[in-house]
């Protein structure tokens, strides 16, 4: 019995390693290309080991783009978007999960409907609005449309209704807590894992966004990283080593952010179980 159990664990690890390999391989390949001259991209057989142009390729990136400035802009955009989405989603999720109010279902369904308009078609009218508000070339203009995140509200509603016991809310009410205080002191600590999840998703999605930011940011000082990277990718000059070097170094901060959130995720679980 015990032995059989171990064999199953062996398969579990094998499965994870295989899955991990497929996940990581393209990322690794990107790193390899970031360390090699452009021609390696075309070579047969494929190049699979790192070369020695790591620094050189990155220097080219720095020459061609305002890399660090763009990273800083992106960081601000992503942080603000993530925090706003977390705030809006958790408050709305709390309301949908724990309160009774007229029109609740209609409101909930209408949030659904807002995400069904293909964003590609909304581009021109949304651009028009942002231009009219005088928000072109501002980071606020680059982030405003991402504040709308139906997934966040959905996720939070589900999580709160499942993991925050009604009794706890009732008890807090009997103690005379205001609703906002209940949210802050009772709900928030419990939903930290969901915060971590939603935070990762929103942060990375905003980091990778291109089309909208390209459309509203035209001043190189305001570029976000994807816009900056795309500006060095012009058809007449395809230096893959340089492009992938830029892409690679722009991805590293995300990995770090992920690991940070992930820690929050894990620690909050263990803490929860001690209580």
Partner 1 sequence: MAFTRKYRSEETKDKISAYLYISPFFIIFAIIGLYPAIFSLFLAFQKWNGLGEMSFVGLNNFKVVLQDPIFWKALYNTIVMGIMGTAPQIIVGIILAFILNQAYLKFKNTFRAMVFLPYITSMVAVALVFGVFFSNNDTALANYILNIFGMDTVAWKTSEWGAKIAISIMVFWRWIGYNTIIYLAGLQSIPKDLYEAARIDGANTFQQLRYITIPLLKPFIVLTVFFSTVGALQLFTEPTVFLGTQAFSRTEAMTVVMYLYRDAFSLQSFGTGSATAVILLFIIVVASAINTYLTSGIRKKGKGIKS
Partner 2 sequence: MKKSKLVLMISILSVMILSLVACGGDKESSGGKDGEVTLNFWVFGATNYEELAKEYEKENPGVKIKVKTSETDDHHNSLFTSLSAGSGAPDIAMLEIDQLDRFKEAQDRFVNLYDVGAKEVQDQYLDWKWQIGENSDGDFLFGLPTDIGPKAMFYRTDLFEEAGLPTEPDEVEALIQSKEDFIKAGQQIKEKTGKPLLDSMEMAYRAIIDGAEESFFDEEGNLLIENEGNAVRQAYDLAIELNELGLVGEYEMWTPEWGNAVNNGDFAIELGAAWLKGWMLDNAPDASGKFRIATLPTEFAGNWGGSYIAVPAETEHEEEAYEFVKWLVSPDNQLASFKSDAGLFPSSPDVYEMDEFKNTEDEFFGGQSTAQYFANAAQDISFIYKGTKYKPAHDEILNAMNNVQQQGGDPEEEWAAAVERIKDLVSR
Q: Can you read off the two tokens belonging to residue 107? A: 């409101």
Return the DSSP state at 187: I
Tally of CA atoms within 13 A in the half-sphere of 204 that contains its CB: 14
- According to DSSP, residue 175 is labeled T
Q: How far apart are CA 53 and CA 243, in angstroms?
A: 13
- Supply the minimum distance, in Å, between the C-beta of residue 98 and partner 1: 8
Q: Which part of the chain contacts partner 1 (CB under 8 A), choosing from 56-64, 70-78, 144-152, 213-221?
A: 144-152
For the segment 127-186, give every residue that binds partner 2 (CB under 8 A). 127-128, 131-132, 134-141, 184-185
* Contact flag: residue 6 with partner 1 (CB under 8 A): no
| Binding status of residue 72 toward partner 2 by CB under 8 A | no
d(CA 194, CA 222): 32
Torsion of the alpha carbons at 15, 255, 226 and 117, rounded to the nearest 10: 60
In the complex, what is the shortest distance from the CB of residue 123 to partner 2, in angstroms, rounded to a whole number? 6
Q: Which residue's entry shows tokens 């990155």?
A: 58
Binds partner 2 (CB under 8 A): choice among 30, 54, 71, 84: 84
- Residue from 62, 168, 266, 271 touching partner 1 (CB under 8 A): that is 266
Residue with tokens 């504040």: 147
By CB under 8 A, is residue 139 in contact with partner 1? no
Stretch 87-126: interaction string toward partner 2, x if CB under 8 A: x-----------------------------------xxx-
Q: Which of the residues 206 through 235 are near partner 2 (CB under 8 A)? A: 214-216, 218-220, 230-231, 233-235
**Residues 65, 221 contacting (CB under 8 angstroms):** no
User: Closest CB to partner 2 among 107 and 208?
Assistant: 208
At 250, list the tokens: 């722009």
Contact between 23 and partner 2 by CB under 8 A: the answer reads no
Reading phi first (left if > 0) and then psi (alpha if -120 to 50, else beta), residue 100 is in beta
Q: Out of 2, 121, 234, 236, point to the residue binding partner 1 (CB under 8 A).
A: 121
The residue from 40, 131, 137, 179 that contacts partner 1 (CB under 8 A) is 179
């Amino acid at each position: 019995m015990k032995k059989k159990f171990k064999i199953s664990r062996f398969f579990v690890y094998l499965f994870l390693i295989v899955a991990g390999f497929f996940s990581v391989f393209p990322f690794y390949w990107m790193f390899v290309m970031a360390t090699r001259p452009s021609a390696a991209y075309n070579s047969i057989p494929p190049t699979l080991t790192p070369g020695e142009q790591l620094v050189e390729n990155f220097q080219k990136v720095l020459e061609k783009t305002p890399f660090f400035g763009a990273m800083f802009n992106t960081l601000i955009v992503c942080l603000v978007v993530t925090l706003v989405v977390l705030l809006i989603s958790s408050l709305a999720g709390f309301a949908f999960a724990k309160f009774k109010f007229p029109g609740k279902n209609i409101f909930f369904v209408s949030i659904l409907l807002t995400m069904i308009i293909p964003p590609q078609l909304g581009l021109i009218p949304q651009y028009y609005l942002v231009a009219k508000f005088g928000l072109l070339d501002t980071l606020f203009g680059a982030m405003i449309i991402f504040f709308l995140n139906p997934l966040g509200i959905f996720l939070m509603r589900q999580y709160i209704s499942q993991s925050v016991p009604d009794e706890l809310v009732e008890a807090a009410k009997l103690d005379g807590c205001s609703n906002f205080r209940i949210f802050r002191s009772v709900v928030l600590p419990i939903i930290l894992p969901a915060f971590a999840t939603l935070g990762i998703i929103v942060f990375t999605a905003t980091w990778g966004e291109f089309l909208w930011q390209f459309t509203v940011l035209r001043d190189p000082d305001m570029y976000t990283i994807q816009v900056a990277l795309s500006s060095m990718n012009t058809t007449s000059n395809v230096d893959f080593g340089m492009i992938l070097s830029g892409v690679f170094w722009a991805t590293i901060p995300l990995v770090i952010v992920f690991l940070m959130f992930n820690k929050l995720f894990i620690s909050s679980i263990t803490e929860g179980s001690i209580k």
